Amino acid sequence: MMAAALRVAETPERPKSLTEPRWVRWSLTAVALVFLMVFLLVPLAVVFSEALSKGWRVYLASITEPEALSAIRLTLLTAAISVPLNLIFGLAAAWSITKFQFPGKNILITLIDLPFAVSPVISGLIFVLLFGARGWFGPWLDAHDIHILFAVPGIVLATIFVTFPFVARELIPVMQSTGTDQEEAALVLGAGGWQMFFRVTLPSVKWGLLYGVILCNARAMGEFGAVSVVSGHIRGLTNTMPLHVEILYNEYNFTAAFAVASLLAFLALVTLAAKAYVEHRFHEH
């Protein structure tokens, strides 16, 4: 990294009067590198180093024990339900916001962003107030033997809530910039509503859509605060991967905690790579 800093290339496209002296460029680059290293690379490296500190055998055992596997399964299940639902909603919301005119449009956009402004803990709390034993629907649910809180449905609901805005907010600007000309052309040429949607609208927004889904999925699999409030931490039943990490860590089982965490860190790296790839493709178009 320091070698990279020392080889800061000349910036040929900018004349001397429009860039900083070389020593300023070097020191600014060095400051940026050190800051990012201390805050990003070191914590990331620590996860993998701690996970492997007792060797591969312990690592593999930690991520294949039954409770870890059930946490992995629940995390995948939660993402498999919440991501498609928010994908469909995101498409519908972006579609109605960008292709039609109606009063209250800006309010709708603000409301879609709302879950981003709510603390994860509060996102969990509202579902406790709704479905908890002393919540609004609690007594009724109890009477009918339906379990939402401290069970899988609660985890899915809280995850849907916190990942709600991702797809819609990525799609809205993309759909805005493509306009309605192509769709009108398709309709004039005799395409039906669905045909137009699948042949014209969807292909034109596919990169924006993919981008939103990648971010939505990362959050769905990694959500901690909201899920922690509604899950009840029942091992092997309502533990998602992040919650399993917490339990192992609090039991001073650090190697196992970091082993499961390393899977989530790997997921984060895949997310970043996929994101960079989509951004790259998006700029080409």
Residues 41-100 that bind other proteins (CB under 8 A): 41-44, 46-47, 50, 89, 92-93, 96-97, 100
User: Which among 71, 77, 252, 275 has a CA at the least distance from the CA of 160?
Assistant: 77
Using CB under 8 A as the binding rule, whether residue 28 contacts other proteins is answered as yes
What is the closest distance, in whole angstroms, from the C-beta atom of residue 17 to other proteins in the complex?
4
Span of 37-45, 58-66, 186-194, 198-206 interacting with other proteins by CB under 8 A? 37-45
Longest CA–CA separation in the chain, Å: 77
Among 2, 38, 60, 146, binds other proteins (CB under 8 A): 38
Window 178-207: residues binding other proteins (CB under 8 A): none
Window 226-255: residues binding other proteins (CB under 8 A): 228-229, 241-243, 245-246, 249, 254
Tell me the residue length of the chain. Answer: 285
Window 107-126: residues binding other proteins (CB under 8 A): 108, 110-115, 117-122, 125-126
Span of 9-17, 62-70, 186-194, 198-206 interacting with other proteins by CB under 8 A? 9-17
- Please give the helix or strand (H or E) that residue 88 lies within, else none: helix 66-99
Half-sphere exposure of 72 (CA within 13 A, CB side): 15
206 burial via Cβ count (<10 Å: 0-12, 13-18, 19+) = middle
Using CB under 8 A as the binding rule, whether residue 153 contacts other proteins is answered as no
Among 71, 205, 218, 256, binds other proteins (CB under 8 A): 218
Unique residue bearing structure tokens 């700029």: 283
25 burial via Cβ count (<10 Å: 0-12, 13-18, 19+) = middle
Closer Cβ to other proteins, 104 or 190, answer by number: 104
Q: Report whether 254 contacts 50 (CB < 8 A).
A: yes
Closer Cβ to other proteins, 62 or 189, answer by number: 62
